[in-house]
């Protein structure tokens, strides 16, 4: 079992993360701390493998805890979960070796993907003593072998993709929603979501989630200019 601690000062967020941990096999929640000092007290008394760590907390912040772990050479991995989306803090967290960085608010699927990948890596490390380059690339640097194809996923058509892309290209706003495309193309919201997901998966679009006044998640998209050329082979 992967002994996991949550360090989060917001009781509601901490409870959500606690439930997430409980739904994924292979993880054991050993403690929930609302401050960095309380977290340090825990890790000095019992073994912890993984910390789900917030940045903004009263007193010392999460980055200070991360630095403390590294300076004291503690074998504890960290997944940062924070509302901080500025590149300076993200870069600092990466430099100090976070396993992943999730920006609040996030969906369970995203955390599930992170924890599942972490569990697979932990199992791999436990079973192996030496690795080859292919295993190193796949397990530690996320360099998966990909089959280059120009075929669309099942259920998608080139004609409809072209209509969706034309709608995206003609929108004056830098960011747009699923509903914006539905209004232009005239197909169902579910169908539009499938095409936007495909474009996000191949890197042509960037996706982020925001929450409205009623708490319903709203997907916002924008074109990833550096990867926009990838759409051409599907049109």
Q: Identify the pLDDT of residue 215.
A: 55
Q: Among 48-62, 113-127, 135-149, 217-231, which range has the highest average pLDDT? A: 48-62
Cα separation of 115 and 25, whole Å? 10
198: confidence class by pLDDT, cuts 50, 70, 90: very high
Cα separation of 148 and 157, whole Å? 18
122: confidence class by pLDDT, cuts 50, 70, 90: confident
Q: Identify the pLDDT of residue 99.
A: 93
Kindly report, residue by residue over 13-35, the tens digit of the pLDDT: 899 899 989 888 899 999 999 99
Average pLDDT, the chain: 87
Q: Identify the pLDDT of residue 87.
A: 92
Cα separation of 122 and 75, whole Å? 12
Cα separation of 213 and 164, whole Å? 28
201: confidence class by pLDDT, cuts 50, 70, 90: confident
Q: Whole-model pTM?
A: 0.62
Average pLDDT over residues 192-202: 92
Q: Identify the pLDDT of residue 137.
A: 73
Residue 209 phi/psi, 5-degree rounding, is -115, 130
| Contacts of residue 154, Cβ cutoff 8 Å, sequence gap at least 6 | none
Q: Identify the pLDDT of residue 146.
A: 45
Q: Identify the pLDDT of residue 208.
A: 80
Cα separation of 145 and 164, whole Å? 29
pLDDT above 80 for 130: no
Q: Tell me which of 86-95, 107-116, 124-133, 159-168 is least confident.
A: 124-133
pLDDT above 90 for 193: yes
Domains of the chain: 2-140 (3.40.50.2300), 158-234 (1.10.10.10)
């Amino acid at each position: 079992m992967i002994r996991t601690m949550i360090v989060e000062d917001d009781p509601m967020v901490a409870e959500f993360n606690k439930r997430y941990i409980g739904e994924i096999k292979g993880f054991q929640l050993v403690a929930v701390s609302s401050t960095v000092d309380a977290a340090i007290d825990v890790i000095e008394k019992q073994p912890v493998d993984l910390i789900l760590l917030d940045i903004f907390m009263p007193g010392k912040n999460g980055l200070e805890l991360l630095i403390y772990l590294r300076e004291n050479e503690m074998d504890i991995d960290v997944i940062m979960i924070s509302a901080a989306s500025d590149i300076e803090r993200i870069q600092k967290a990466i430099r100090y070796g976070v396993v992943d960085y999730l920006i609040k608010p996030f969906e369970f699927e995203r955390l599930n993907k992170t924890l599942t990948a972490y569990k697979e890596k932990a199992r791999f490390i436990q079973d192996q003593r030496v690795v080859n380059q292919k295993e190193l690339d796949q397990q530690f640097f996320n360099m998966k072998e990909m089959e280059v194809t120009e075929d669309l996923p099942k259920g998608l058509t080139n004609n409809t993709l072209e209509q969706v892309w034309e709608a995206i290209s003609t929108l004056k706003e830098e960011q747009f929603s699923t509903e914006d495309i539905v209004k232009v193309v005239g197909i169902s919201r579910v169908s539009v979501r499938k095409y936007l997901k495909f474009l996000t998966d191949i890197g042509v679009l960037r996706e982020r989630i925001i929450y409205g006044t009623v708490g319903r998640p709203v997907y916002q998209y924008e074109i990833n200019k550096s990867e926009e050329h990838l759409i051409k082979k599907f049109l």
